[in-house]
A and B are shown apart, each in its own frame.
Chain A
Amino acid sequence: MNRFEILKKNKWRYISFIIGFLLLVSPFALLIRLEFWITGNLAEPSIHYACLRMPIGWIFRGAVNYLISRPEMTAFIIGVLGLSLFLGPIFCGWLCPVGAVSEAISRIIPLPNKFRIHIKDTNITSALRYGFFAGYITIYILIGLKLSGDWIGSICCRFCASTILQNLAAGIFGWLLPTYGSIEYWGTASIIVLISWLIIGGIFTYGGRGWCLFFCPLGAFSNLLYKVGAKLGFYRITYNKDKCSHCKKCNLVCPMWAIKSDHSVETALCINCKECVNICPTGALTMKWGKENATK
């Protein structure tokens, strides 16, 4: 398959990723800058203030005080999750800079696919993804029940691809604007995260979304809501068996391994990126609204 053809067909998605990077990642962080400007916050804006992980932990441990004291983070997560119910995980598929960078690296580095991890059984992929999510949530519920130490916030940040991305961006673009976030320091945790996110999850994973598939709680949570939304008839991907020519092009372009063996789409994995819709030569995969043919 021609890479340029894919690039052309999905140009809006890739432009959207650049916008996502500019909106969230320091030294640009335009969305956070706007919010700080409105609220009069003096801190240096960065992706840290739109944390993709902490509020999910707070929700499951019942930490209402944290959710209230960090309204910007809470609003961001609730917004992303709300969108996922009605429009699918479009934040993951169209804006998230963490997923975008690892996906881009996977596509840029010409590693033969035989060296890349690719689980073709969507049930296995889902089981691994939601198993990890269950383990993550279990920890937070136990913390909420006061069965553990209470300063989970600090360890969250040791296990955070967004922070690593932030620090890399500060190192590359820091000369443009005053910024905090340092590329000099690498601790054990950050090295492990870097390896898992960009090397294993990016270069050595088919599609470059290993981190999103197996470690991102926001991604897993968004997809659960998408699954519910698709059943209720909200915006979703649909598959028409009669039109399918079984060319398997969708399988090759899907970064989330969401195409099932019968070529329908697993909504527990799909991020509505539309790569499969755009490549499908017969129009068997389309986006739809409404109750008709809602997924079961």
Chain B
Amino acid sequence: MNKKVVIAFLFMFLLTISTGVYGVILSNTEPTLFWFAVPAGNITEPKVLRGPGPPINLTPIKVDIDRFTPLKKFFNPNVVEIGTHWIYNYGKKPVILRIELINCTLPVKWDVSANFPFDEKTHTFTKPLMPGQRIDGLVFHWIFEIPPELMNKPIIYQGGVKLIDANTGEVLTFIPIEIVRGELMRGGS
């Protein structure tokens, strides 16, 4: 085989590996998208929920802003986005889902669009989500804006998201969310 081909192959191969390492070291704390499903209970550690659709990885969400990439740190250090395209009902009965972000004093914008009726005031999907179904066409983002005075605190936000049956008030799934500084991120991928 041509020597140049081997060298080019090795070069690109190493470049890929090093880019992967870069990804591991620097950029694993921009967890923009997560999967959600009900009922999954209190998610204190990573868990796989199985149902009629794909297996769903549920995990506590922890964002360490110290581990943002240099680009993110330079251009947009104080904004954290957490969102989902996938909310499934893996239970046995239809549910009207209300979403509650608890313990949140940070300014947060709810950016929601779906082929499913959503009440922006109560943060409730007003139509029942049938067993085995997902919310169709969902684009759901929380955009947290961290005030300058909180930027140097070790824990910026410690709370979570509750997926609640709006009819009964029962908490079907709770996923903790933390925004911290200087701690290794454990959730999400």
Q: Chain A: residues with CB nearer than 8 A to chain B?
A: 41-44, 46, 48-49, 150, 153-154, 158, 180-182, 184-189, 191-192
Contact = CB atoms under 8 A, between A and B. Distances in A.
A103 B118 CA distance: 38
Nearest to B31: A187
A42 B111 contact: no
A182 B113 CA distance: 12
Closest 9 CB pairs of A and B: A44-B113, A186-B76, A185-B81, A180-B113, A188-B69, A43-B137, A43-B115, A191-B71, A187-B30
Contacts of B111: 180-182
B71 A184 contact: no
Contact of A43 (B68, B71, B113, B145): B113
A193 B33 CA distance: 18
B117 interface: yes
A187 B113 contact: no
B27 A188 contact: yes
A186 B79 contact: yes
B139 A48 contact: yes
A57 to B, nearest CB: 16
A33 to B, nearest CB: 13
B115 A41 contact: yes
A153 B139 CA distance: 13
Interface in B88-145: 109, 111-117, 137, 139, 141, 143, 145
A182 B109 contact: yes
B72 interface: yes
Q: Which of B27, B54, B71, B112 has the most CB of A within 10 A?
A: B71
B157 to A, nearest CB: 15
Interface string B15-38: 000000000000100101100000
Interface residues of B, number: 28
A189 B76 CA distance: 12
A186 B74 CA distance: 11
A67 to B, nearest CB: 16
Contacts, number: 61
A180 B115 contact: no
Interface in B24-80: 27, 30, 32-33, 54, 68-69, 71-72, 75-76, 79-80
Contacts of B137: 41, 43, 49
Contacts of B30: 187-189
Nearest to A192: B71
Nearest to B69: A188
Contact of B143 (A42, A44, A46, A182): A182
A189 B32 CA distance: 11
Nearest to A155: B33
A188 B141 contact: no
Given A158-B32, A182-B111, A184-B145, 7 more contacts: A46-B113, A154-B85, A180-B111, A181-B111, A185-B81, A187-B81, A189-B30
Contact of A42 (B81, B115, B139): B115
A42 B76 CA distance: 32
30 contacts: A42-B114, A42-B116, A43-B113, A43-B137, A43-B139, A44-B113, A46-B113, A48-B139, A49-B137, A150-B54, A154-B33, A154-B85, A158-B32, A180-B113, A182-B81, A182-B109, A182-B111, A182-B141, A184-B109, A184-B143, A185-B79, A185-B81, A186-B72, A186-B76, A186-B79, A187-B81, A188-B27, A188-B30, A191-B75, A191-B76
A152 B54 CA distance: 14
Contact of A188 (B71, B80, B112, B114): B71
A41 B117 CA distance: 10
A185 B116 contact: no
A189 B117 CA distance: 31
Contacts of B115: 41-43
A42 B117 contact: yes
A184 B79 contact: yes
A258 B71 CA distance: 34
A154 B33 CA distance: 8
Q: Which of B69, B79, B115, B143 has the most CB of A within 10 A?
A: B115
